[in-house]
């Protein structure tokens, strides 16, 4: 679960049991409006600043990396045919394999 002020928490999907409580995603990460998504065994959270944080799922909180788009992102990305569609303030990105 991602909170709008830059925190992340983990709960068991079937039981709702807390695995760990609120953890700060990163020092500068402070505003999140889009929903997190999962791909390839990782969880992604996109901040309003356009930073996508990669989080390791499991019993311990760990940020694996950060990818920056460099501009405001307010919408939840869409997934279509193994492509990620991201809308920023002035652009629309398709992230995926060429030819797919």
pLDDT (tens digit per residue) in 34-70: 999 998 899 999 999 999 999 999 999 999 999 999 9
pTM exceeds cut of 0.85: yes
Q: Average pLDDT over the chain, rounded to whole?
A: 93
Distance CA 62, CA 76 (A): 22
Residue 27 lies in a domain: yes
**Residue 83 maps to a domain:** no
- Please check whether residue 55 lies inside any domain of the structure: yes
Please report whether residue 50 resides in a domain.
Answer: yes
How far is it, in rounded angstroms, from Cα 64 to Cα 59? 14
Does any domain span residue 88? no
Q: Which structural domain, as residue segments, surrounds residue 6?
A: 2-72
pLDDT at residue 97 in the model:
82
Quick check: is 81 in a domain?
Answer: no
Residue 80 resides in a domain: no
What's the alpha-carbon Rg for the chain, to the nearest Å?
14
On whether the CB atoms of residues 31 and 2 are closer than 8 A, the answer is no
Q: How many domains does the chain have?
A: 1
| Tokens describing residue 56 | 């390791």
Let me know if residue 38 belongs to a domain.
yes
Encoding tokens for residue 7? 């925190």
The helix (run of H) or strand (run of E) holding residue 53 is strand 51-55
15-38 confidence digits (pLDDT tens): 999 999 999 999 888 899 999 999
């Amino acid at each position: 679960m991602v909170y709008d002020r830059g925190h992340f928490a983990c709960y068991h999907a079937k039981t709702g049991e807390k695995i760990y409580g609120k953890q700060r995603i990163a020092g500068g990460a402070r505003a999140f409006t889009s929903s997190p998504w999962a791909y390839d065994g990782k969880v992604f959270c996109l901040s309003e600043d356009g930073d996508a944080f990669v989080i390791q799922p499991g019993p311990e909180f760990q940020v694996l990396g950060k990818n920056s788009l460099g501009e405001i992102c307010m919408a939840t990305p869409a997934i279509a045919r193994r492509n990620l569609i991201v809308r920023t303030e002035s652009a629309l990105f398709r992230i995926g394999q060429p030819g797919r």
